[in-house]
Amino acid sequence: MTTALPSAQHRTLEPDGLATSELAIVGMHCASCVLRVQRSLDADPAVASAAVNLATERAYVTFDPTAISVDALCQAVAAAGYSAQELPEHSAVPDEPVDRDGWRWRAMVSWPLALSALMIALLAPESSVSGWIVLLLGIAVQIVGGWPFLRSSIRLLRHRAVNMDTLVTLGTLAALAVSAVEAIALGGRHLHLGGSGAFAARLHGAMAPLIIAVLATGRAIEARARARATRALHSLVALRPPTARLVVGTREGDGADRAVPPESVPVGARIRVLPGETIPLDGEVVDGWSAVDESMLTGEPIAVEHGPGSLVTGGTRNGSGILVVEVRAIASESVLARLQHLVDDAMSQKPPLQRVADRVSAVFVPVVLLVSAATFLGWWVVASNLGTAVLSAIAVLLVACPCAMGLAAPVAMMVGCGRASALGILIRNGDALERLADVDMVAFDKTGTLTMGIATVAAVTPATGHSTDAVLDVAAAVEADIEHPIARAICAAHRTSQRAAGVAVLPGVGVTGRVGDRSVRVVRAQEGELPAELERAAREFRSRGETVVAVVVNDRPVGVLAVSTPLRQEASDAIGRLHEFGIRTAILSGDSEEAVSSIARQLSIDTACGGLDPEQKLSALQALRSGSAGMVMVGDGVNDAPALAAADVGCAIGSGSEAALSTSDITLVGSDLQCVPAAIGIASATYAVTLENFGWAMGYNLSALPLAAAGLLDPLVAAVAMGLSSLLVVANSLRLTRLGRDGPASVRPPRLSRGRRALAVAVALPVVLFAATTVGAQLVSPAKGQSLLPTLPDIVEVTLPTGGQAEMYLDPGSPGPNQFHLILPSAPSFAPRVTASHDGGSPEQLRQFSVGPGHYVDLVTITPGTWRFSVTTTIHHRTVTFDMSRTVA
């Protein structure tokens, strides 16, 4: 395979003396972190450009190495409150961002502590002891479970900065303050915030640890999902096995091979690949035959037979034979490493949508702080409701989620590009992906693109006085070093010992050179330029759909060759799928009109233009492009390069020329045309998911903040919503991992609308959803007096003549069947006698069931009115009689 891909070095020296480094950044959580890191790098005049990616936790910095060192760059990042480390050159497998802050164990420790605090707050009698236990549990969870929040916000505070973590820290500390007030100032009695009832008051006493537990769980799940998304991206380099079997000594099969890291194997060394093993490096087979599964590079689930002389690629899997391979490229320059570098490059550029998101979220955290302060003051000063003031201000801090906005585009891009590269489609940058999502026309080159890279000479007609061999001999001499399918066909048909001098390629026309003292041209045969006998042959070849090439010696045509270029097997299906997607197709070719239109008919391609030289190709492309919303050009040759560069998206066939590869936005590694519709499908799916994510993040924050400020969101609900919102963005992006599981032909474009309307829908969706769930939650929320649990009943207390208190309550305390509860200060020796009378009616004896020491229960049917309960019992061996009454409405 020919490649013009950049080298795999992570620090590359560019022609203008600038160097590019890749830094791993630790400590970024949201888009405002990204912006701070970005600014800390941009601040130095020696930095030409910096791109920071939240999803991969990387920064790509281009700088003047004579003016600033990488260490100084890392220090600049550290000064902003984050840590940076340069990734080693040639680092083949970038480490995945995992759960570095240990959110998993933090969540696991936080939950039992938080639930104990909740149980105590809900069930234990209000006392100073229970108040203090809840407070201490809250502090423990705040420190153990919420340490990363604290650490990051303290670190930023020192640099007078705020981020997402500042919001969480402030919110949870305020919640903790509620517990502290209860324990320290109120002797364990519960604060009734917002007049929301006894149950909610008990709940809010323990909300701080619960919020931390919820948030830690959210972060733990998010970290896992992000690691999964990163794996999708880095699946390429992970293909390389950790060791290679280096063959030492000359006798093969003597078992004398040594396991070494593939990175240490030099060019020219021989490695052995056993059945079922993954081939570690690129090279040429010198011994053995085997079917190699190349699907990991091409997405095509067909094994390819390889034997001596054929080239194998690192990362593909050996079938049942044993292969000895002579290494042709070191690990860092292998196809795999180059492809990975392309993918990494794509990640280093921000798609336009993300740039908008970053700008929005840069001002986001300060705005939320202001909204929270205003909410507090508004409820306190204007509405004189301190309880709601505290709860709503906390809810505002906790519900805002800039994370979702920061992750919206990069995670989707990461998964989308990862899927594409797994199918052998390399998308060079986010811009190209966005443009690709919008195309409605695809133009193909013919030779080498729609037709196979391999052509054959089908017939030769020499002019009178010349022999077939002589014609082929001069043609092969000129074509010997040319990479064009026609050139390869001529050289394969005839071996010559001659070599032409001064060979020049005429793109889209042919080749010229000098053989001995003769000037030779092997060129496209123009109609009407040939002598009659050759013209007749040419016409016949053309009618068979073959490409006709004229061999001209000293300006005199000496023969014509018919080159048959078979169509790629999958061409027809690929075109069919494009049409299914509603995309128009065209051929732009240098070959004759006749050959081109015959192929267009065969493949039912909409528009056919033949006989084009590179400039004409370009202008034909521009004409087509003016009538379309976005256009892809697919090509392989040198003559396609200008068109590839001019199209909205240039797509090069992997087996094509270097010029084509280096001017294109997309490379089809496996030269599989099915990858063209697949790439469009993946791009539109990725773009649709990005829009959804972005819209969700916007809509979520737009709707959640006002609701929280209005006092309609409980802080606990706010914390759950915030955790869910960034999770949703990551989970939504992970849907893309399913694209094209069964090869490129299985990619379906999403049935989703695009453009502004889609964005509007995406924003509106969470707004509606959120409003609906808030209304729903309000109806059942325990915090709003609409208890999920039965409301705690009114307790009637009576002071006994023997000292101590008896308590009685009716559960539920409304008309209908009720439990009558009687609680005595100590257990009597006999069950108490209880009679109940209604509005002065005759007393009725109740049967008592003991449910605990001194605790008795009976069932009574209560009707509205005043009920009097007379109790006779013994306490400390004295008989005591007392009455209690309850009025039921």
| Site residues, Mg ion (CB under 5 A) | 445, 447-448, 636-637
472 counts as binding ligand ADP under rule CB under 6 A: no
* Sign, Cα dihedral of 608, 613, 617, 620: negative
DSSP three-state, residue 93: coil
Eight-state DSSP code of residue 329 = S
- Please report how close the Cβ of residue 604 comes to ligand ADP at its closest, in angstroms: 18
- Chain residue at closest Cβ approach to Mg ion: 637
What is the C-alpha radius of gyration for the chain, rounded to an integer number of angstroms?
38
Q: Within 75-134, which residues bind ligand ADP (CB under 6 A)?
A: none
Q: With b meaning 16 or more CB within 10 Å and e meaning fewer, what string describes 45-80?
A: eebeebbbbbbbbbbbbbbeeeebebeebbebbeeb
**Nearest to Mg ion of 57, 445 (CB atom):** 445
* Sign, Cα dihedral of 43, 47, 53, 54: negative
Quick one: which H or E segment has residue 512? strand 510-515
- Please report how close the Cβ of residue 448 comes to ligand ADP at its closest, in angstroms: 5
- CA-nearest of 877, 783, 796, 861 to 829 is 877
430 counts as binding ligand ADP under rule CB under 6 A: no
**Nearest to ligand ADP of 283, 508 (CB atom):** 508
Tokens describing residue 838: 């209604």
Decide: 8 and 340 in contact? Cβ < 8 Å.
yes
517 is catalytic: no
**Nearest to ligand ADP of 27, 508 (CB atom):** 508
The contact pattern for ligand ADP, residues 835-874, with x = CB under 6 A and - = no contact, is ----------------------------------------
| Contact residue for ligand ADP among 18, 59, 482, 709 (CB under 6 A) | 482
The contact pattern for ligand ADP, residues 492-511, with x = CB under 6 A and - = no contact, is ----------------xxxx
584 counts as binding ligand ADP under rule CB under 6 A: no
**Nearest to ligand ADP of 409, 493 (CB atom):** 493
| Strands of the sheet with 456-462, listed across from one edge | 456-462, 556-564, 547-553, 518-524, 510-515, 501-506
- Please report how close the Cβ of residue 723 comes to Mg ion at its closest, in angstroms: 53
715 counts as binding ligand ADP under rule CB under 6 A: no
Alpha helix positions (H), 235-334: 295-298
- Please report how close the Cβ of residue 654 comes to ligand ADP at its closest, in angstroms: 15
The one of Mg ion, ligand ADP, none whose footprint includes residue 508, by CB under 5 to 8 A per kind, is ligand ADP
- Please report how close the Cβ of residue 473 comes to ligand ADP at its closest, in angstroms: 15
446 counts as binding ligand ADP under rule CB under 6 A: yes
445 counts as binding ligand ADP under rule CB under 6 A: yes
Distance of alpha carbon 588 from alpha carbon 608, whole angstroms: 6
Q: Within 630-659, which residues bind ligand ADP (CB under 6 A)?
A: 637, 639
Instruction: Provide DSSP, 33-66.
Output: HHHHHHHHHHTSTTEEEEEEETTTTEEEEEE-TT
Distance of alpha carbon 888 from alpha carbon 869, whole angstroms: 13
- Chain residue at closest Cβ approach to ligand ADP: 590
- Please report how close the Cβ of residue 459 comes to Mg ion at its closest, in angstroms: 22
- Please state, in angstroms and as integers, the Cα–Cα distance from residue 696 to each residue in 366, 368, 403, 856, following that order: 21, 18, 12, 54
Q: Which of 165, 257, 282, 445 is catalytic?
A: 445
The one of ligand ADP, Mg ion, none whose footprint includes residue 749, by CB under 5 to 8 A per kind, is none
Decide: 281 and 241 in contact? Cβ < 8 Å.
no
- Please state, in angstroms and as integers, the Cα–Cα distance from residue 405 to each residue in 207, 432, 435, 709, following that order: 27, 21, 21, 20
**Nearest to ligand ADP of 420, 511 (CB atom):** 511
Tokens describing residue 439: 């195309």
- CA-nearest of 344, 349, 340 to 51 is 349
The one of ligand ADP, Mg ion, none whose footprint includes residue 547, by CB under 5 to 8 A per kind, is ligand ADP
| Contact residue for ligand ADP among 142, 388, 496, 547 (CB under 6 A) | 547
The one of Mg ion, ligand ADP, none whose footprint includes residue 590, by CB under 5 to 8 A per kind, is ligand ADP
DSSP three-state, residue 455: coil
798 counts as binding ligand ADP under rule CB under 6 A: no
| Contact residue for ligand ADP among 487, 634, 822, 836 (CB under 6 A) | 487
The one of Mg ion, ligand ADP, none whose footprint includes residue 416, by CB under 5 to 8 A per kind, is none
Decide: 551 and 522 in contact? Cβ < 8 Å.
yes
- Please report how close the Cβ of residue 465 comes to ligand ADP at its closest, in angstroms: 22
The one of Mg ion, ligand ADP, none whose footprint includes residue 371, by CB under 5 to 8 A per kind, is none
- Please report how close the Cβ of residue 630 comes to Mg ion at its closest, in angstroms: 22
Q: Is 289 exposed, middle or buried (0-12, 13-18, 19+ CB in 10 A)?
A: middle
Decide: 3 and 338 in contact? Cβ < 8 Å.
yes
| Contact residue for ligand ADP among 522, 632, 682, 736 (CB under 6 A) | 522
Tokens describing residue 281: 């490096």
- Please report how close the Cβ of residue 601 comes to ligand ADP at its closest, in angstroms: 16
- CA-nearest of 200, 215, 170 to 366 is 170
**Nearest to ligand ADP of 18, 482 (CB atom):** 482
| Contact residue for ligand ADP among 173, 271, 549, 708 (CB under 6 A) | 549
Decide: 396 and 371 in contact? Cβ < 8 Å.
yes
Backbone angles phi, psi at 266, to 5 degrees: -80, 165
Among the residue ranges 114-122, 230-238, 287-295, 520-528, the one whose residues contact ligand ADP (CB under 6 A): 520-528
**Nearest to ligand ADP of 347, 647 (CB atom):** 647
Distance of alpha carbon 844 from alpha carbon 834, whole angstroms: 8
| Contact residue for ligand ADP among 435, 524, 568, 584 (CB under 6 A) | 524
**Nearest to ligand ADP of 121, 522 (CB atom):** 522
- Please report how close the Cβ of residue 548 comes to ligand ADP at its closest, in angstroms: 7
Decide: 774 and 713 in contact? Cβ < 8 Å.
yes
**Nearest to ligand ADP of 30, 477 (CB atom):** 477
**Nearest to ligand ADP of 547, 690 (CB atom):** 547
**Nearest to Mg ion of 513, 637 (CB atom):** 637
The one of Mg ion, ligand ADP, none whose footprint includes residue 483, by CB under 5 to 8 A per kind, is none
Eight-state DSSP code of residue 91 = -
Among the residue ranges 195-203, 248-256, 519-527, 720-728, the one whose residues contact ligand ADP (CB under 6 A): 519-527
**Nearest to Mg ion of 375, 447 (CB atom):** 447
- Please report how close the Cβ of residue 451 comes to Mg ion at its closest, in angstroms: 8
The one of Mg ion, ligand ADP, none whose footprint includes residue 165, by CB under 5 to 8 A per kind, is none
Torsion on CA atoms 670, 675, 680, 684, rounded to nearest 10: -90
Give the interface size with ligand ADP as a residue count (CB under 6 A). Answer: 23
- Please report how close the Cβ of residue 333 comes to Mg ion at its closest, in angstroms: 27
Distance of alpha carbon 41 from alpha carbon 23, whole angstroms: 11
Decide: 828 and 812 in contact? Cβ < 8 Å.
no
- Please report how close the Cβ of residue 676 comes to ligand ADP at its closest, in angstroms: 16
- CA-nearest of 44, 35, 36, 83 to 62 is 44
Eight-state DSSP code of residue 794 = P
The one of Mg ion, ligand ADP, none whose footprint includes residue 591, by CB under 5 to 8 A per kind, is ligand ADP
Alpha helix positions (H), 235-291: none
Catalytic residues: 445
Could you list the residues that contact ligand ADP (CB under 6 A)? 445-448, 479, 482, 484, 486-487, 508-511, 522-524, 547, 549, 589-591, 637, 639
